[in-house]
Structure 1
Amino acid sequence: MLDAKALRTLSYGLYIVSTKGAKGNAGCVVNTFSQVTSKPEQCSVAINKENATCGAVLEAGRFAVSVLDETAPLELIGTFGFHSSADTDKFAQAQTCFDAADMPYVAEHACARFSVKVQHKLDLGSHMLFIGLVEQAETLSTQPPMTYAYYHQVKGGKTPPKASSYIAEEPAPAPADAAPKVGWKCMLCGHIEYVDELPDDFTCPICGAGKEMFERIEL
């Protein structure tokens, strides 16, 4: 027996992992960054191998991490969590700084940041696990860090399909005697808008996708 819902009892934070590869800056949202030893200070992170950020970390051999705080807007999380660095400059609208190794990191809505040099990597199938030595660490604000529970329950955020903790969910079926309920589902993040038609200028409140990324569904 394996109840996947039991995994949701695990506690996580929300982080932006960033680096610089041959094609430029790359970054993505993860919930898997954690400390693994204190002497020396080492941390680990698992990144989906389909993410451009994963390939960029492999090239650079190092990465930076911004610990998002509770003020982080969904627009920022959506930019880094539901788009690809391969075709989107995710840092264009974010306050960006660079560490001593010239790795970019998001300096706004973050309560701390880390610079990590990769020491070990492990192929986990869908994800690559990086374990590295913390070379820099800095507190950026006194705001409380955003937990994954806060992101879901207070912010109303969604889990990116490439996240380690992603569990696909289907909308609950409508009662047999009920009239079909029309909605529009975002093909990027899964958000559903329950309206008959979407305005031409509509953008997803979770990931910022335009109307063209929504498909009509009936419940």
Structure 2
Amino acid sequence: MDLQAFFKMSYGLYVLSSAFDGKQNGCIVNTVTQVTAEPPKVAVAVSKQNLTTSLIERSGLFNAVALTEEATMDLIGRFGFRSGREEDKFAGIPHGADANGVWYPTETASAMFSCKVIDKLDLDTHVLFVGKSIEAVKLSDAPVMTYDYYHKVKKGETPPNAPSYKKPAEKHGWRCKVCGYIYEGEELPPDFICPICKKDASFFERI
């Protein structure tokens, strides 16, 4: 089986959010798709390790925001490579709330889909949630960011717990053990901070 064939599938880049008992959180995912039109239903796959997954399972609610090509690596790093168990990901950024009170980022957002979970499937490392859409809002006419654009133009990395993760090509330098960012150079400055996940030099390993 040629696993590289799967890389030809088209993906977007989304912030998936949920809330339960006063806790709001979101994470970056690339597998969000509409599965029926009438009524509109949306499916999303998310890692079992993510706090957002736990919030969805407990609340039965989620929303997904399609990011535009203008989305910054700081925003992507905040939601994609940091833990909501350690920080408030929504702190200090523009955000709105859907009809269920679940927050979502509004900056560089193209559209928001709010859903109520009607089914789920255990996928070993991930959970596939199927939600019936109860709200959909167009937020921008800007081009949406595809996963291919994220890699080729933004030079973004794929987190190890993403469905489409593949081991990076061999490089020399220092790799962040959290997000995979690579610092190319013989010596890593002791005060270096990862530009993606904001971890310090102690989280880097030589490669």
> What TM-score, normalized to structure 2?
0.95
Where does 1:7-46 land on structure 2 (aligned, <5 Å)? 7-22=6-21, 24-46=23-45
Q: Which runs of 4+ in 1 moved over 6 A?
A: none
Query: Partner residue of 1:204?
Result: 194
Amino acid at match of 1:3: D
Distance in structure 2 (CA, Å) of the matches to 1:103 and 1:23: 10
Distance in structure 1 (CA, Å) of the matches to 2:25 and 2:122: 20
Distance in structure 2 (CA, Å) of the matches to 1:4 and 1:55: 30
Amino acid at match of 1:161: P
DSSP-derived class of the 2:173 partner: strand
Larger Rg: 1
Q: Which runs of 5+ in 1 are unaligned?
A: 173-181
> Which string of whole-angstrom CA distances, capped at 9 and with x for unpartnered residues, describes residues 46-94 of structure 1?
1111111101000110101111000101111011111121112111132
Deviation at 1:196, TM superposition (A): 2.4
Distance in structure 2 (CA, Å) of the matches to 1:205 and 1:101: 33
Query: Partner residue of 1:186?
Result: 176
Distance in structure 2 (CA, Å) of the matches to 1:187 and 1:23: 30
DSSP-derived class of the 1:204 partner: coil
Query: Partner residue of 1:177?
Result: none
Deviation at 1:23, TM superposition (A): 6.2
The structure-2 alpha-carbon separation of the partners of 1:5 and 1:93, relative to structure 1 and needing over 3 Å to count, comes to farther
> What TM-score, normalized to structure 1?
0.90
Query: Partner residue of 1:179?
Result: none
- Further displaced range: 157-166 or 81-90: 81-90
Query: Partner residue of 1:137?
Result: 136
DSSP-derived class of the 1:113 partner: strand
> Size of the alignment, in residue pairs?
207
Task: Check the 8 A contact 2:78/2:196 in 1, yes or no.
Answer: no
Task: Check the 8 A contact 1:74/1:207 in 2, yes or no.
Answer: no
Query: Partner residue of 1:64?
Result: 63
Distance in structure 1 (CA, Å) of the matches to 2:74 and 2:6: 27
Where does 1:1-219 land on structure 2 (aligned, <5 Å)? 2-22=1-21, 24-171=23-170, 183-217=173-207
Amino acid at match of 1:183: G
Distance in structure 2 (CA, Å) of the matches to 1:201 and 1:79: 20
Deviation at 1:187, TM superposition (A): 0.6
Q: Which runs of 5+ in 2 are unaligned?
A: none
Query: Partner residue of 1:178?
Result: none
- Further displaced range: 186-195 or 155-164: 186-195
Amino acid at match of 1:153: K
Distance in structure 2 (CA, Å) of the matches to 1:161 and 1:111: 26
